[in-house]
Amino acid sequence: MVETLLPARVEFERFARHLQDAAMLIQRSAERSPYTSVSVLLLRWEEDTTVESDLVSLEKVFREQYHYRTERWHIPTVPNPSIKLGVQMASFLDNARPDHLLIIYYAGHGYLGGDNQLYWARLVNPLSIRIHRLLLGLVDESC
């Protein structure tokens, strides 16, 4: 009787090792990011220096702790900043591919307009230079 239990025990231990190996493989693949690279675009208005220290701190975290590629860009204070921002965003989005995560971080003012649309604003004042959220729709379309 002892002889019949021995092969069953060996078979059970082999199954247990196989199950443990499978569980470890699943855990490792779950911990692994689906992205091979990450790029971060940090935006602020050129005149709004009040957010600069926050951007510097955030950029430091992205670079030093996560080793992400970062790029800072100042939205120009011109009559129609949407065009220049659109060109910058399109250039940044040229890096888009399934294994490359793109993060766009905006530090600045924003408000909901009377048309229920989101606007980025140079100042807290809604009449200041603003950028309509529809421009940011190109982010959704390119990814």
The model's pLDDT over 74-96, given as tens digits with 9 standing for 90+, comes to 999 888 888 888 899 899 999 78
Instruction: State in words which class domain 37-142 has.
Output: alpha beta
| Model pTM score | 0.67
**pLDDT confidence band for 3 (50 / 70 / 90):** low
How many alpha carbons lie under 13 Å from residue 10 in its C-beta half-sphere?
6
E-strand stretches of 46-117: 69-75, 100-106, 109-112
- Domain boundaries of the chain, sorted by first residue: 1-32, 37-142
pLDDT confidence of residue 18: 76
The model's pLDDT over 44-70, given as tens digits with 9 standing for 90+, comes to 999 888 899 999 999 999 999 999 999
Residue 42 parent element (H or E) = strand 37-45
